[in-house]
């Protein structure tokens, strides 16, 4: 496969051209030249973008993802970092599962009032104590 211009990379990867330019500025991807005003990329950029997308979906920052590539562009993935991120995801899953279960109970609770339901009151105490994993504000991510 020959060089792909930025429009073709955007179409094949689903990543907007503006994000591709941003990733290039951050050093996550590199163009191999230009055709007129359009950046050109090697076909391997599609696999690299897939790895970036996978990292983003797993909750890694762009800086963390950038460190997962060696200077030659090959993946150099820190297994301890992956394990730590998996633990964070497990914790989030537990918190969200508890929240889901509480919402389902509240939606179908037979008590005349939620405040009369022992299960709902227990959930309420848990929320007041922070046991339900209050969602922390996160700084917005760049594309």
For residue 139, being part of any structural domain is answered with no
29: closest CA among 8, 57, 1, 51? 51
Mean pLDDT, residues 21-41 taken together? 92
Reported confidence tier of residue 5, pLDDT bands at 50, 70, 90: very high
Q: Is residue 26 part of a domain?
A: yes
Same domain for 56 and 11, yes or no, is yes
Q: Considering the domain boundaries, does residue 81 fall inside one?
A: no
Q: Which helix (H) or strand (E) holds 38?
A: strand 38-41
Q: How far apart are CA 56 and CA 17, in angstroms?
A: 17
Strand partners, 41: 4
Residue 117 or 131, more confident: 117
pTM greater than 0.75: no
| CATH code of residue 43 | 1.10.1660.10
Q: For residues 94 and 125, state if they share a domain.
A: yes
pLDDT-based confidence at residue 102 (cuts at 50, 70, 90): confident
Residue of 102, 19, 18, 26 whose CA lies nearest to 63 = 26
Please report whether residue 20 resides in a domain: yes
pLDDT at residue 140 is higher than 80: no
Q: Looking at the structure, do residues 56 and 105 belong to the same domain, yes or no?
A: no
17 shares its domain with 45: yes
Q: Report strand pairing: 33-35 vs 38-41.
A: antiparallel
Report the number of distinct structural domains present in the chain.
2
* Confidence class for position 54, pLDDT limits 50, 70, 90: very high
| 49 and 8 in a common domain | yes
Domain that holds residue 124: 86-129
């Amino acid at each position: 496969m020959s060089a792909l211009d930025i429009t073709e990379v955007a179409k094949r990867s689903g990543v907007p051209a503006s994000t591709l330019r941003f990733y290039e500025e951050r050093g996550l991807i590199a163009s191999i030249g230009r055709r007129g005003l359009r950046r050109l990329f090697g076909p391997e950029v599609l696999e690299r973008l897939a790895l970036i997308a996978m990292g983003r979906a797993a909750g890694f920052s762009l800086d963390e993802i950038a460190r997962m590539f060696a200077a030659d562009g090959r993946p150099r993935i820190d297994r301890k970092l992956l394990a730590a991120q998996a633990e964070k995801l497990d914790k989030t899953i537990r918190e969200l599962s508890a929240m889901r279960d509480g919402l389902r109970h509240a939606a179908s609770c037979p008590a005349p009032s939620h405040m009369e339901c022992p299960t709902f009151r227990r959930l309420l105490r848990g929320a007041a104590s922070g046991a339900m994993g209050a969602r922390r504000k996160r700084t917005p991510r760049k594309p």
